[in-house]
Structure 1
């Protein structure tokens, strides 16, 4: 076995990817937020959240690598490094970068060929979704809300998946902001002005409440509100930059857009 043999996954996407690659035996600890695959929750100890981790519990597992995501886990990573653990914090934010992440993680564990096949499969299915979307009679304007208080708009890979699925993100300029604070909406009325046809909510770990969105001042004028086009996309399938977003996440978005476009 080449590469790290005892891996702690601080977020969901390395866990799901390693399972898909047939390398789950390397995983000795996972994030408590992990839901994919279901087997991981049964088989692996939960030693981290997203912004915090049980450092002593991680060290007790004697990992030779910890894998996490983004600046939000910088403090966890720094503490593990100080305690002698090798850490890889990925910072992928686009669809292309997610696919490259799969290839890089596969190479790290000596599964280069399997990872290439998995990544190629993701590219092919996204291309097929884009082809189907191109045949739709119309494209909706889509507003994606990642958090409600304060309102945070969608991250880059979500915006790109909306485009692949046949819609147009109403805040494409926000999607390029890598940090959540850069995607905070300063003026809620801007959503009203951009008049989305569809509103997608994924409130990062809590249930999306359409009735709260509808009750916002002035939002009754939004086409999506007028037509009842408010939909939840469960956060585990869209807000982790890994296989889930490229499969169940984009499929959920595409189904909503397809129904809207064909309703005509």
Structure 2
């Protein structure tokens, strides 16, 4: 690997890295992607699939002779450990906030000599947030929002989702919970807590699992929640809100803002 050019054969264990490299015009460096990759659609047609989120085809990755493997979160630590034992270079990012996502974008761009592209993407996001804030300032009231990332046990949204809710014009009722860096720190032990906080809007994204509204509405006293009474329950596609990259910063943010604007 020519250190001045950066890694030339990258395996992407999660989608955000793939989407960013395509965005930077550096997709030629990608030699393998995750089966969960849907952005951009072209990637699945051009690149071999070598992993899910939890498992990877180690032998297939080795056959691709990557000079760098990039993954995300402690959940992929076992994959990383196995690849490191095989002698590969592995980078596992663990972004949990919007600032950490922006930092990851900048780091990746710098790594592949696309720093300007990364800076432009970050600037575009910040411009969108500023424009939204001008609209939000004209609202009389902001909606209280409950984001449910999992149903059994109840898990509220991760920190970047809480921040996107705020940028989009909402108030996350479990903002403090969202700061827990692991899912177990965001468990809501008692569903009556949601009832007591009485959100105006309920957002649901069960990590790719199909949302069953009847299951939600069967919870004790949830019929008393404003969001339920007024039918402000929305399923948000996991691919645009649970991806710690451009999908959530752009499509996810816009989707949230449109929902909140309709409520206001």
Q: Give your verdict on TM over 0.5.
A: yes
Question: What is the alpha-carbon distance in structure 1 between the residues aligned to residue 186 and residue 9 of structure 2?
Answer: 36
Other-structure match for 1:71: 74
Contact 1:238/1:245 (CA < 8 Å) preserved in 2?
Answer: yes
Q: Post-superposition shift, 1:243?
A: 0.1
2:160 aligned with 1:147: no
Alignment of 1:165-244 (within 5 A): 165-244=168-247
Q: Deviation per CA, 1:20-42: give whole Å up to 9, x if none.
A: 00001101111100100001111
* Structure-1-length-normalised TM-score: 0.97
Q: Give the Cα separation in 2 of the matches to 1:120 and 1:257.
A: 23
For residues 53-91 of structure 1, what are the alpha-carbon distances to aligned partners after superposition, in whole Å with 9 as ceiling and x for unaligned? 111111111110011111111111111111111011111
**Kept in 2: contact 1:10–1:67 (CA 8 A):** yes
Q: What TM-score, normalized by structure 2, do the two folds share?
A: 0.97
Contact (CA 8 Å) 1:133, 1:164: kept in 2 or not?
no
Stretches (4+) displaced over 4 A? none
Helix, strand or coil: the match of 2:188? coil
**1:102 and 2:101 are equivalent in the alignment:** no
Secondary structure of the residue that 1:231 maps to in structure 2?
A: strand
Is residue 91 of structure 1 aligned with residue 104 of structure 2?
Answer: no
Structure 1 residue 157 corresponds to structure 2 residue 160? yes
Tell me how many residue pairs correspond in the alignment. 261
Distance 2:133 2:49 in 1: 37
1:123-138 correspondence to structure 2 within 5 Å:
123-138=126-141
Unaligned runs of 5+ in 1: none
